[in-house]
Amino acid sequence: MNESKTPNFFIRDLPIYGDAILAPMDGYSDWPFRSLCRELGSAMSYTEFIKVEKILSKSKQPAKRMYFNEPERPITFQIYGEDPELILQAALKIQENNPDVIDLNMGCPAKTIADRGAGVGMMPSPLRIARTFRKLVKHLRVPVTGKIRLGWDKKKNYKLIARIIEEEGGSLVAVHGRTKEQRYAGNADWDAIAEVKSLVKIPVIGSGDVKTVADIDRMKAHANVDAVMIGRGAIPNPWIFSRLDRDQVPPDVVKATIRKHLARCVEFYGDEDGSRLFRKNAVQYVMMNHLSRDERKEILKSRPSAEFLELLEKIYDSPVMQI
């Protein structure tokens, strides 16, 4: 955990210590991984995004996604939807769970979300975004923030949307430097992130193509952002929040972290689901390029957590493993 006594920035009146934050990622930033990254130095926690209609229904998914423990604070609940009134109703409901911040996802490029007007699908509708933030800021007691992309396609309107967020009372904007059409291809446009930072007075978090410790400092210097958000780069290397690149992490530390992460998955989801959901992380941790084809198949097989740990020991005892 960052031990600096001087906040790097504030979300309204909430102090944030640190300049690297785990990005909210569907299927990855659940409690087991998120809490691990927070312990390793991520400056705050964002939940996986939650659909507003599910919050307002009897679905059990929101409770699972909103679960957090106190050491994770500051905790941000991220939601998505397309109807300003439903977004407000959902935000008021989840505010009862005592988050520190509520964030509106306006960046998810998945077709099933964006094509119905949610996620980055909100960005072509600036007035709807303005109405949504006006409602949220007026009725919520916690700070309201937004996560955006550069726009839907070549018609980029990120500067307009960032200004709207600020003018309607939003307390922070996080910017992923790609459009909806780019998804995760090509290079993130750090110049565009720098433009947003120069336009608004609220804190700006930059996101996109941060894969190494050096990238954190490069983005901060290039775009003058208050913090950097790390998504895909953190999955194989949560130690990036401790300012370590993957090749700097000793094998025994990797193995201990895998054990801790798997144990949390089993605690959170139960043995069968926890072991199954952990496989995608195991693949990243163990760095598949070091393994034979048969070893890769073994990693991906469904098995109880105890059996997986036995397999892990065999893999790590293999002379070819240099991780």
Q: Which residues are identified as catalytic? A: 108
Compute the distance between CA of residue 282 and CA of residue 301 in angstroms, rounded to an integer.
Answer: 11
The three-state DSSP-derived secondary structure of 235-295 is CCCHHHHHCCCHHHCCHHHHHHHHHHHHHHHHHHHCHHHHHHHHHHHHHHHHCHHHCCHHH
List, in order, residues 6 or more apart from 210 with CB less than 8 Å away. 216, 219, 228, 229, 230, 233
Do 120 and 109 form a contact (C-beta atoms < 8 A)? yes
The three-state secondary structure class of 140 is coil
Angle between helices 158-167 and 190-199 (to 10 degrees): 30
Would you mind telling me the total number of residues written for the chain in this entry?
Answer: 323
List the one residue out of 113, 114, 91 whose CA is nearest residue 103: 91
Q: ω before 236 within 30° of 0 (cis)?
A: no
Could you tell me whether strands 14-16 and 204-207 are parallel, antiparallel, or unpaired per DSSP bridges?
unpaired
d(CA 275, CA 305): 5
Sorted by sequence, the CB contacts under 8 Å of residue 234 that are 6+ apart come out as: 22, 23, 37, 42, 240, 241
Q: Rounded to an integer, what distance in angstroms lies between the CA atom of residue 180 and that of residue 158?
A: 12
